[in-house]
Amino acid sequence: MANHKSAIKRIRSNDTKRVLNKYQHKTTRNALRKLRESKDRNEALIMLPTVVTMLDKLAKRNIIHKNKAANLKSGLQVLVNAM
């Protein structure tokens, strides 16, 4: 257990940030899954920019690595183009 007041505050803020990061990451993964499962090209083209934006935000906030975001975006673009 932390002994200093600042350490206790840091633990509290880390927990808050962890929950928010977890929520954003899970929401993005669900959007990715939904995009990959879609069969309609028009629907996928509409969803693609929002999913790409979500991935960029995760990478900017260091929730995922920037190269992982780039790889995911590239794979999604290939998937949508192949429809």
Query: What pTM, to 2 d.p., does this model score?
Result: 0.80
Question: What is residue 18's predicted lDDT score, i.e. its pLDDT?
Answer: 95
Residue 1 has pLDDT above 80, yes or no: no
Domain range annotation of the chain: 39-83
Helix 66-82 to helix 41-60 angle (10° resolution) is 170
Whole-number percent of the chain with pLDDT over 70: 99
- DSSP per-residue codes, 48-68: HHHHHHHHHHHHHTTSS-HHH
Question: What is residue 3's predicted lDDT score, i.e. its pLDDT?
Answer: 81
Identify the residue with better confidence: 20 or 83: 20
pLDDT band at residue 83 under the 50/70/90 scheme:
confident
